[in-house]
Structure 1
Amino acid sequence: MVTVKSAEKVAMRDVFGDTLLHLSQIDSRVYALDGDLATSTKVNVVAEKNAPKFLQMGIAEQNMMSVAAGLATTGLQPWATTFAAFLSKRAIDQIQVQIAQPNLDVKMIGAYSGLLTGLTGKTHQALEDIAIFRSLANMVVLAPADGVETKKMMEFANEYHGPVYIRLARDPLPTVFSEDYKFELGKAVKVRDGKDVTIISTGTQTGRSLEAAEKLAEEGIDVAVLHMPSIKPLDKEAIIQAAEETGAIVTSEEHSIYGGLGSAVAEVLVEEKPVPMLRIGVKDRNAESASNEALLQKYEISSHHIVARVREVLKKK
């Protein structure tokens, strides 16, 4: 089990920009491709400090992915960056046919994922990206919990040959991991021990799940929290072990309940170790613009809602 660091808040996108700049400076293969959102995704630091490695593709995501595929065929490593909503839906044909099928070394960064996208509205919110990307053969799908893990994932992706999708959140989040944390592809990370129920979470929901576990501890409910940074490939063994040890599972994600982490975990449990399970995520509905707290409450993915679902699943044991 890893040690939770602190409540210090850092934005993933700031870490992303700084890390990509560093990679572009030390690795001749690395190029940043931008879909005219550099100041939002923070890839603008590459444009400002290493301009030859910055390629402005404009508001043309489909073309950007075709360019990325072409660059990869020459031995370069393009990092294509735009909002997750645009990457996962507007450019999915190019990603599937030109990148995933030939298994090219393209890194895709889905910024502004989930609900909390700074009042940009439902056209800019991505609640389906995990489901879409994990359905593609050869695709690695990752969702970091904090800035530290974002950096570690990027360092991994730089060494990994093949297509990788990383979904990033917009706003600052509590820091979960210390600097000595090591990301491993296909491995879950236990961030809290417990014996009564396991929350399996990914991305932004891991911090909220830890908060919920603390609240439940005050009621005498002992909750384990298993962070799943690698959604594809998935750590099936860790899921089965959690089911055996606690006998009940709650999944938590800032994503639709359809096709994401909850679906992936359910697929494992139904085949290997059926136990009571409930999913936390956005239900079958479109989202809207509002403050972060209002969105978390309305779409039922706040720490308060995690607490309620844990209580509910315990009644099913």
Structure 2
Amino acid sequence: MTATTTRPAGASGTGKPKLRTSAMIASFADPGQKTTPAPFGHALVAAARENEKIVGLTADLGKYTDMHIFAQEFPERFVQVGMAEQLLFGAAAGMAETGLIPFASTYSVFAARRAYDFICLDIAEPELNVNIVGGLPGLTTGYGPSHQATEDMAIFRGMPNLTIVDPCDSVDIAAAVPQLADHPGPTYLRLLRGQVPTVLDEYDYTFELGKAKVLRDGTDVVFVSSGLMTMRALLAAEALAADNVSVAVVHSPTIKPFDAETVLRELDTDRLAVTLENHSVTGGLFEATAAAVVRAGLGRQITPIALPDAFLDAGALPTLHDRYGLSTDRVRDRVLELLG
């Protein structure tokens, strides 16, 4: 099935003209940083070669979620539903009922805000193997509140049976895709697309669904991070070393179910504890971590580095990341401030 209309980059289905800014396809990679092109698309193709039940769907956003790579390789296993997110997930649910393994891509804002009820009752309640792939999570576009999914994890964390993955880089994505396909229930992947940084290959790290991993040790500060903020946590830890501050980094790519055992083991110390996430301070990694601390009776303070509980500005990503405290320099400055 092929749509007869297309959604311009940045448009929201309202008939607005195509925008000419590069904010939609901007990269959060630092200049000169090693990147990998379209890791999700290539990982999905690789998984589909091994498993003929994998199919791909999108809501007129194949090119902007790297799903077009799968479509080119397996056109007979690809469905374009057009600008209809509720139909996208309803169709994916029907496919899963027949034994197929759908990966359905759109922007995170459209999945979380427009199609929540369809995902909840058609996919999550019957625990179907549908993999929701959400592009532009958090502050990865400069297009403003219509496209910045700053509250997507808060929305989805309350949905029973749904696994939520917030990958750091191309390494996480490449390893996550086949594991998501093998997972029996529904999943939500916060997609990093285009030229995605490759960071975790420099560490003794392997992605495991549902597990957090300690990437580096430190004696003064412990970072608990997810998504692209693990990259920033590692960079900030290196920068803080020049200030004689030793920082440990714990990467938690699975937000739900949350690996409280690993995280609490690292937090049960007298080190400064900080969470870092590309998401609102409300309802994401910080609150998952804080809840685990309270349940365990650790009785210690956790400081969040996160986006504010607000609608954010539009603009260039480097400017916005600095404005809202996600840049490496801002993370370093905040830690030095906390240490006094």
TM-score by length of 2: 0.86
1:212 aligns with 2:236: yes
State which of 45, 48, 58 in structure 1 corresponds to 2:69.
45
Gaps of 5+ in 1: 1-5
Contact (CA 8 Å) 2:39, 2:193: kept in 1 or not?
no
Cα offset for 1:131? 1.2
Question: Aligned equivalents of 1:221 and 1:178: distance in 2?
Answer: 24
Return 144-153 or 282-291, whichever deviates more.
282-291
In the alignment, which of 98, 108, 111 is matched to residue 132 of structure 2? 108
Q: Secondary structure at the match of 2:63?
A: helix
Match of 2:186 in 1: 163
| Distance in 1 separating the partners of 2:320 and 2:256 | 27
Matched, 1:241 2:261: no
Q: 1:211 to 1:181 in 2, by over 3 A?
A: closer
Equivalent position amino acid for 2:254 in 1: S
Distance in 1 of aligned mates of 2:272 and 2:94:
47
Aligned residues: 307
Greater shift in the superposed pair: 238-247 or 209-218: 238-247
Structure 1 counterpart SS, 2:200: coil
> Could you tell me how far 1:158 is from its partner in structure 2?
1.4
Distance in 2 separating the partners of 1:193 and 1:247? 12
Q: Secondary structure at the match of 2:238?
A: helix
Conserved in 2, the CA contact under 8 Å of 1:278 and 1:309?
A: no
Distance 1:7 1:190 in 2: 22
Task: Point out the more displaced range, 120-129 or 94-103.
Answer: 120-129
In structure 2, how many angstroms separate the alpha carbons of the residues matched to 1:110 and 1:212? 27
Say which of 53, 57, 60 aligns to 1:29: 53
Residues of 2 paired with 1:46 and 1:161: CA distance?
A: 22
Contact 2:44 2:178 in 1 (8 A): no
Q: Distance in 2 between matches of 1:299 and 1:255?
A: 11
SS of 1:41 mapped into structure 2: coil
Question: CA 1:108/1:127 → structure 2, altered by over 3 Å: closer, same or farther?
Answer: same
Q: Is the 8 A contact 2:281 2:308 kept in 1?
A: yes
Q: Which residue of 1 aligns with 2:120?
A: 96
Q: What letter matches 1:299 in structure 2?
A: Y
Partner of 2:19: none
Q: Distance in 1 between matches of 2:246 and 2:90?
A: 49
Please list the CA deviations of residues 45-94 of structure 1 after superposition, one character each: whole Å capped at 9, or x if unmatched.
22222100110011100111111111111111111101111111111110
- The aligned counterpart of 2:286 is 262
**Residue deviations 1:79-128 (CA, integer Å, cap 9, x gap):** 110111111111111011111111111011011111122x4332111001
Deviation of 1:129 (Å): 1.0
Structure richer in helix, relative to its length: 1
1:278 offset after TM fit, Å? 0.7
Partner of 1:60: 84
Aligned-residue offset at 1:246: 4.4
Deviation at 1:274, TM superposition (A): 2.2
Task: Give the SS at the match of 2:146.
Answer: helix
| Matching residue's letter, 1:311 | L
* Alpha-carbon distance in structure 1 between the residues aligned to 2:96 and 2:226: 29
What is residue 141 of structure 1 aligned with on the other side? 164
Amino acid at match of 2:269: E
Amino acid at match of 2:65: T
Deviation at 1:171, TM superposition (A): 5.3
Match of residue 3 from structure 1: none
Asked whether 1:311 is paired with 2:339, we answer no
- 3-state SS of 1:40 partner: coil
Q: What is the CA-CA distance between 1:173 and the residue it aligns to?
A: 4.1
Counterpart of 2:28 in structure 1 is: none
After alignment, is 265-274 or 196-205 more displaced?
265-274
1:227 partnered with 2:251 = yes
SS of the aligned residue for 2:120 comes to: helix
In 1, the alpha carbon distance for the partners of 2:58 and 2:71 equals 10
Contact 1:25 1:50 in 2 (8 A): no
TM-score by length of 1: 0.92
Quick check: 1:151 aligned with 2:157?
no
**What's 1:129 paired with?**
152
CA contact (8 A) 2:39 2:196 kept: no
For the pair 1:281 / 2:306, whether they are aligned, the reply is yes
The whole-number CA distance in structure 1 between the counterparts of 2:262 and 2:334 is 21
Distance 2:266 2:92 in 1: 39
Code of the residue aligned with 1:274 in structure 2: it is G
> Does 2:8 align with 1:8?
no
C-alpha RMSD of the superposition: 1.7
* Superposed displacement of residue 181, structure 1: 4.3
Query: Once structures 1 and 2 are overlaid, which stretch shifts more, 258-267 or 281-290?
Result: 281-290
Indicate how the Cα distance of structure 1 residues 308 and 276 shifts in structure 2: closer, same or farther if over 3 A, else same.
farther
Following superposition, the deviation at residue 231 of structure 1 comes to: 0.7
